[in-house]
Homo-oligomer: A and B are copies of this chain.
Amino acid sequence: MQSAELFNVVAPADGLARVLRVVAAPLPAESVPVMTALGRVTAADLAAPADLPAFARSTMDGYAVAARDTFGASESLPALLEIVGEVAMGRTPDVRLGPGQAARIFTGGLLPDGADAVVIIEETQLVGPVSVEVLRPAAPGEHVVRPGEDVRRGEVVVLGGHVLRPQDLGALLGVGLTAVAVRRRPRVAIVPTGDEIVPPDVEPQPGQVRNINGGTLAAQVLAAGGVPLTYPIVPDDAEALRRAARAALDAADVLVLSAGSSVSTRDMTATVLDGLGSPGIVAHGVALKPGKPTVLAVADGKAVFGLPGNPVSSMITFELFVAPTLRHLLGIAEPPRPATVRAALARNVPSAPGREDHLPVRLVERDGALLAEPVFGKSNLIFTLVRADGLIVVPLDALGLMAGQSVDVRLF
């Protein structure tokens, strides 16, 4: 019974690396409408199929001119031009400029033949129904967007492995790309286990507790870009667990087993996870608090996680191991920077060297300064996380952090 306590613990980063080394990634691509692709990850570089804009456009309201017709113009000696028409929006202009001629144009209008610049209306003076004085010389190209100035045909506009943002969608639509190849979302099977666990809608009897981790984990999967598949609670029975884990893994890309919390069930969990496929367990126990009894495994290319049953451990180990694995499966080239704030630590935090500590903190403003107050609490307490605004990390080799020290708080 004590054998499982003899963890061969590895550093968290090393444990993750062992998973990523043997997992099959990235997931296949699928084509989706750009309008539904927010947050999806591009499967390949995307090149512009055409110049944007396709034609020289005015960026202001005013007059399309040939710049050379305005050289030397000033308020005292304006250039007098003949107005030969107006550029209608969205159509080929039915005017073309000869020497000494101008055409009314609006923002976004196509520059007519013979024009190479726009004079803004504030720098002109109407002197008759078809005559305008230009009060300042225009430079060639002034107030004009050249064809291809936004993006050139063939130019890579969005790299592969990019998490699509609102402006990326607009840009793809702008060059006529209405569908985009993105990585399929990873399906993550969540299997809660434990004789004492009941579904949230069941009134617990003495000794029973509701399934907390299932809901938190499913939401974490969603937030990380995956699709959660939630499974019924499995009792602490090796054969039942083996069957449930096998079925869930077959239906999913990743298996997360929310483990029973006692040492004996942890042993059972580890045995089951190890038997799901090759190479099996790659790390049993990590140098982490909370979250030490985490099991990391890979079964025939699919990542398998045995997460601790304590709610705080469960949430933190998901972020440390499962979320980066999902990003790896999605082929994300550069993970989005996590939202962090710097704050002054409100009190000393002790730690042990050789162990990475993750500590929930609450942010408090005091006298204009931002303080990070540790929310101490047993890792069994989900409300420790509810009351917290984020996490701070005490690195593997540190003895602790000092009150007043500036820390990065990773918001959640």
Which A positions have Cβ atoms within 8 angstroms of B? 1-2, 5, 34-35, 38, 52-55, 57, 59, 61, 87-93, 106-110, 121-122, 145, 149-151, 157-158, 165-178, 194-198, 200-201, 203-220, 222-223, 230, 236, 260-265, 309, 311, 315, 336-341, 378, 380-383, 385-386, 411-412
Chain B residues whose C-beta falls within 8 Å of the C-beta of A107 in the assembled complex:
261-263, 309
**9 closest A-B pairs (Cβ-Cβ)?**
A170-B216, A106-B262, A166-B219, A90-B196, A339-B339, A173-B200, A167-B385, A174-B212, A89-B195
5 contacts between A and B (CB under 8 A): A90-B198, A90-B205, A166-B412, A167-B311, A172-B215
Q: Is the CB of A169 within 8 A of B219?
A: yes
* Among A90, A236, A260: residue with most chain B CB under 10 A: A90
Which residues of B sit under 8 angstroms from A168, Cβ to Cβ? 386
User: Inside 8 A of A90's CB, which chain B residues have their CB?
Assistant: 194-198, 205, 207-208
B-chain residues with CB within 8 Å of residue A158 when the two chains form the complex: 386
Whole-angstrom CA separation of A219 from B169 in the bound complex: 8
What CA separation (Å) do A206 and B55 show in the bound complex?
A: 7
Question: Is A315 a contact partner of B412 (Cβ separation < 8 A)?
Answer: no
Are A216 and B55 interface neighbours, CB within 8 A? no
- CB <8 Å contact, B173 and A215: yes
Partner of A178 from B87, B200, B386 at Cβ < 8 Å: B200
Known: A108-B261, A173-B211. A386 touches B157 (CB 8 A): yes
